[in-house]
């Protein structure tokens, strides 16, 4: 009798213990669905950030190319001599002042960088006339070379204007050039307009 009472007491204690319940199939499916949504959102955000970073880097490379072309032209102007607005044919009347509002589209310089030689810069226009690239050519043995692009195709130069003052030998003004550049940089169908204005003065005393 005592043994039966002990067994009954043991079974009652066992029934009083809290039952351990697991996840149901529906709870597991809901949890898995929420986890999948969170992972997809995180991956999508990472892809968006990475794509934006790649476009920014590509655009920066394009703008760096423009800056390199402008710096090359600026260095030639600062260290050169014999500047003429409008090209070699206008050496006799080299000035085209800002106040006259009649800019030149070609600039002639007697370059002193490396080999001394005449150099010209102009806007190379696309076939459709919507813009183009900054171009350069130089004279070798009395013959002008072909025009070469100094800006990347991704840079569409819409306007390139030169203003020159002090280039005449009879004036007392130090030769100086003002350059206006306007255009659009395009990378993966993303466009970034830009406008540059720079003032350059010839270093050699006139």
For residue range 110-122, list pLDDT tens digits in order. Answer: 998 888 899 999 9
Residues 6 or more apart from 88 whose CB is under 8 A from it? Answer: 108, 118, 120
| Strand (E) or helix (H) holding 11 | helix 2-16
Q: How far is CA 45 from CA 31, 35, 38, 52, 94, in A?
A: 21, 15, 11, 11, 57
Domain ranges of the chain: 53-201
E strand residue ranges, the chain: 81-85, 106-111, 117-125, 132-140, 143-144, 148-149, 155-165, 176-187, 190-201
Residue 47 has pLDDT above 80, yes or no: no
Q: Model-level pTM greater than 0.85?
A: no
pLDDT for position 163? 96
């Amino acid at each position: 009798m005592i043994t039966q009472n002990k067994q009954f007491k043991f079974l009652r204690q066992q029934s009083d213990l809290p039952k351990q319940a697991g996840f149901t199939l529906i709870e597991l499916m809901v949890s898995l669905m929420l986890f999948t949504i969170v992972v997809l959102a995180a991956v999508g955000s990472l892809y968006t950030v990475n794509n934006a970073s790649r476009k920014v880097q590509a655009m920066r490379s394009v703008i760096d190319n423009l800056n390199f072309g402008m710096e090359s032209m600026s260095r030639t102007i600062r260290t050169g001599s014999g500047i003429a607005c409008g090209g070699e044919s206008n050496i006799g009347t080299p000035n085209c002042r800002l106040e006259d509002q009649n800019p030149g589209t070609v600039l002639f310089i007697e370059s002193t960088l490396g080999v001394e030689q005449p150099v010209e810069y102009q806007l190379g226009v696309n076939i459709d006339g919507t813009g183009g690239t900054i171009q350069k050519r130089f004279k070798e043995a009395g013959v002008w070379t072909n025009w070469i692009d100094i800006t990347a195709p991704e840079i569409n130069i819409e306007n390139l204007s030169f203003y020159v003052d002090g280039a005449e030998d009879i004036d007392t003004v130090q030769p100086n050039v003002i350059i206006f550049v306007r255009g659009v940089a395009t990378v993966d169908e993303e466009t970034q307009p830009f406008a540059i204005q720079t003032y350059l003065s010839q270093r050699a005393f006139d």
